A and B are shown apart, each in its own frame.
Chain A
Amino acid sequence: MTQAVKSAKSAPATGSGAVMVLGGGVAGVQAALDLTDLGYYVYLVEKSAAIGGAMAQLDKTFPTNDCSL
């Protein structure tokens, strides 16, 4: 991960319309989805082999006990 974000060290407004999202858990995935819905190209960077993060390990969620996956 540390290597992947080096390029972000340039100034924030580089003229690029792309956004990098670091982390592919539920927060990262939601941010990426919403950014695409708002018209931006997204690089989603995740260090493990699959996105989903901790939520993918859960069976159900509180308080409705809905399926998590």
Chain B
Amino acid sequence: MDGYNEGLALTRPIHIDYPQAVPASYYIDPKACLHLTENTCKICVPVCRSRAIDFTQTEKIEELQVGAVVVAPGFGRVPDSTLAKYGYGQHPDVVTSLEFERLLNPSGPYQGQVLTMSDRRHPKRLAFIQCVGSRDLGCDNGYCSSVCCMYAIKEAMVAKEHDPELDITIYYMDMRTQGKDFDAAQKRAESQFGIKFVRAKVADVMPWGKKGLKLTYSTLNGGHHFEPFDMVVLSVGLDSPKDAQAIAQTLDIKLNRYDFCDTSAFTPLNTSREGIFVAGAFQGPKDIPESVTQSSAAAGIASALLKQQRGAGYVVKSYPNERDIKDEEVRIGVFTCHCGINIGGVVNVPSVDQYAGGMENVVYHSESLYSCSQDAQEVIKQKIKEHKLNRVVIAACSPRTHEPLFQETLKDAGLNRSLFEMVNIRDQCSWVHAQEPEAATRKAMDLIRMGVAKARGIKPLAEQTVPVTAKAVVIGGGVAGMTAALTLAEQGFHTTIVEKEAALGGNLLVIKKTILGVDTEKTLKAMIEQVKKTKLITVLTKAELLDVSGFVGNFSSVIRLADGQENTIDHGVIILATGGKEHTPQTVLGKELPASEAIITQRELETRLNAKGKKLPDSVVMVQCAGSRGDDLSYCSKVCCNHAVKNALTLKDKNPKAQVIVLYRDLRTYGYAEEKYREARERGVIFIPYSLDAKPEISKKGKAVEVRFFDPLLGEEVTVNPDLVVLSVGIVPQGTEVLSKLLKVPVTADKFFLEAHVKLRPVEMPVDGVYVCGLAHSPKPLDETVVQAQAAAAKAAMPLVKGMVKVDPIVSHVDKEACIGCGLCVSLCPYKAIQMLTSEDKKKRAETIVASCKACGICASHCPTFAISMGGFTNEQIFSQIEAFGKSIEDKL
């Protein structure tokens, strides 16, 4: 059975899970091996030429001395008994979302074709059932898994890409796409891909006719319906790891009631045992970016704990001496990649490889199934040595993703990493010309010819480093900024907090507790005290950042202080934690809001609920997404549903007879907050969904307010006159636009800071040395803010720990002999990366500030004397590429 393909395909007892697996060594599946199960066979032992199979090996127990532990065992599977309710296990065409993921994958059981498991036909109608094993007390998973809505939308869109005719319906209770830009993806799924979303509870899935399935569901108005489908995908939630109890026992850490790791909102990654930290789905169900953020944060906390021992036993990777190729003739090796079927399925790789072999200076050429796999790297290293290659051309995917990997391989083989050129025959060839294999093959040949032409002229470039000022600046003194500063100071780095208000604390100053009941007031006070007494932290209040110059490791910031004086600080990194604030909506539910004292926001309600001796309302109507998700703001603010449920419960605590109605679109109490949503319903809070074509209407009747809405349960319009209408108004970022200009960092369409990579670099900005956390990145609750701040501090500490930063050698270089000192380049450079220096002969000459240079090449293209060249992109190289373009093979065909 092939576990990697969720058991949907067969594999051999001795295998690697997938071609890119690390380590890429074959292993024996003890459950399938005849020798280990039946004590027979052993045929592999004599067959293996390297005699690598040794059945005498046994389990060994190793003792390791470690100073800290990060636990990241991931998540487990929802038991099959829960899935059986929907026909899983009884009907082969009821599959889990992970099985469907494998079906969609080109490396999956049917090479990416979506086929029914029962008779390999293309399904015409497909259904997704949400919340399988989540929000379900039947299997004791009272939480929301927080990822299923997103992956269901993704899988549905990918399935549509495979087969545009496919009819897809997603059955859901609430679409919880609360993450940054997630709502936009759902909209796209609906409008562009024609995927249908139906709010319903699915009762069961039964066989229907000869091959089909019948799905029975009930809608809000109590109606029962059924629909036929060819295939049903169960959006299965994330369970705690199977061996969670054993892990907890071995490590002596506490679990919560769902067997996930037990933690708290201000210390979300600290387990109950000192020195053991948790990250990823074991801390609670979560998606990839949040897991990655938690990992960086856990690394940062562990690093603070162990700072005395930093570097102990640390091994620095060493490379062989770089081969001097100055006197060598050009010897190029061309490696063409099949990328499984991604390239090889369209482009005729063998003939491309043959073609490459016929080019001048190409002394070696070969194909490989996956050039990025570990064994292929070994082959490349070996061939570089064997054939004395001094330029390497890889025709595969994009240099944007894979250039660093191959450059590392070159370094391992004793070549300068610049002696490398990548030709993109996947993303920009086979994938976009899938229907035209011949034209794609010709294009691949042309591109390789151009790549080889460029490669002939590559010169080795020396890597450069610049020293770092080991200090940090944090903009913003809310929980995010303070947490970041504390995490940096604990690691031994001096940090300056720049806060525009008179006091530290930010938004948390008006909040007393979280939805899960954590007392924030006390902890915030303690945190502020801690910041103030930490010697390595300088707090500047009523202060403002006026200007930033420099680059990673060497920033210089001008800050205006409370007394109006300007202060310049040198620092190596900067963390943006400017936060957000409650939005003041102009438009609510598509209409202008009437002015009334009886209409307030959730934040104002919270202040009233916390005030002593104030009369509390007897009836409240809460309106969710007021001003959000289509009114003034296009996005979801992630925390408003939690905020509403929290306030509703607090009101019920203090005034049990109060009637609370919550009008919502999708109630997004993801994660453990789902429990509070359930509690609120049990305690009589009435939740009524509204749709966009029947929005509630708020109007003023004298001093009172009136709310009119459609109740789908009753099937009729209802009018109420509550004491208060409470709006959940959403969050807008603060200070992002000004800083975006100062630091040349991007913001999203909604003015939140845009990180370097939404999945894999969630707290880094595209500008090196700049990091982001908190509400200025996107709306998020307290625990996620704390983790993000810890992660930003961990990432920011990296250049400070190293004490220097490396500069990519593709920067510009001024030939001093040819430079006439005209200064055109200085005036044109957008990064202030060229300066004029007076040389020994008293003449002015330009010089590149390598650390500031972004390699754009504007200077090189404008230099009147061609004195400036770009590393890796010289005029000669680009000319030879253009010439190679001219020598089209199509003429010869």
Contacts and interface: CB of A to CB of B under 8 A. Distances in A.
B64 A31 contact: no
B21 A52 contact: yes
Given A30-B291, A30-B296, A69-B20, A23 B280 contact: yes
B305 A38 contact: no
Contacts, number: 246
B453 to A, nearest CB: 29
A66 B427 CA distance: 12
A38 B105 contact: no
B102 A57 contact: yes
Contacts of A13: 67, 275, 305-306
Interface in B779-807: 794-795, 797-798, 801-802
Contacts of B75: 54
Contact of B310 (A20, A39, A53, A63): A39
B101 interface: yes
A35 B101 contact: no
Given A25-B280, A27-B72, A59-B104, A17 B295 contact: no
Contact of B18 (A17, A29, A53, A56): A56
A18 B313 contact: yes
B16 to A, nearest CB: 7
Interface in A10-50: 10-23, 25-31, 34-41, 43, 48-50
A51 B295 contact: no
A34 B295 contact: yes
Given A1-B247, A63-B154, A31 B68 contact: no
Contacts of B106: 59
Contact of A38 (B16, B275, B291, B798): B798
A62 B66 contact: no
A59 B104 CA distance: 7
A20 B251 CA distance: 12
B72 A31 contact: yes
A40 B303 contact: yes
B185 A52 contact: no
Given A5-B251, A62-B153, A63-B182, A14 B17 contact: no
Nearest to A37: B798
Contacts of B468: none
Contact of B17 (A8, A23, A35, A50): A50
Contacts of A36: 314
Nearest to B252: A9
B70 A28 contact: yes
A8 B251 contact: yes
A16 to B, nearest CB: 4
Contact of A30 (B105, B292, B306, B798): B292
Contacts of B452: none
B312 A26 contact: no
Contact of A14 (B66, B295, B298, B759): B66
Contact of A53 (B74, B153, B798): B74
Interface in B280-311: 280-282, 287-288, 291-292, 294-296, 298-300, 302-303, 305-306, 309-311
B250 interface: yes
A62 B67 contact: no
6 contacts: A17-B309, A21-B72, A34-B295, A40-B311, A50-B21, A53-B74
Interface of B: 4, 6, 16-18, 20-25, 27, 59, 61-75, 98, 101-102, 104-106, 108, 150-151, 153-154, 157-158, 179, 181-182, 184-185, 243, 246-247, 250-252, 273-276, 279-282, 287-288, 291-292, 294-296, 298-300, 302-303, 305-306, 309-315, 491, 758-759, 794-795, 797-798, 801-802
**7 nearest A-B residue pairs (beta carbon):** A12-B275, A27-B280, A17-B309, A17-B312, A63-B185, A34-B299, A30-B295
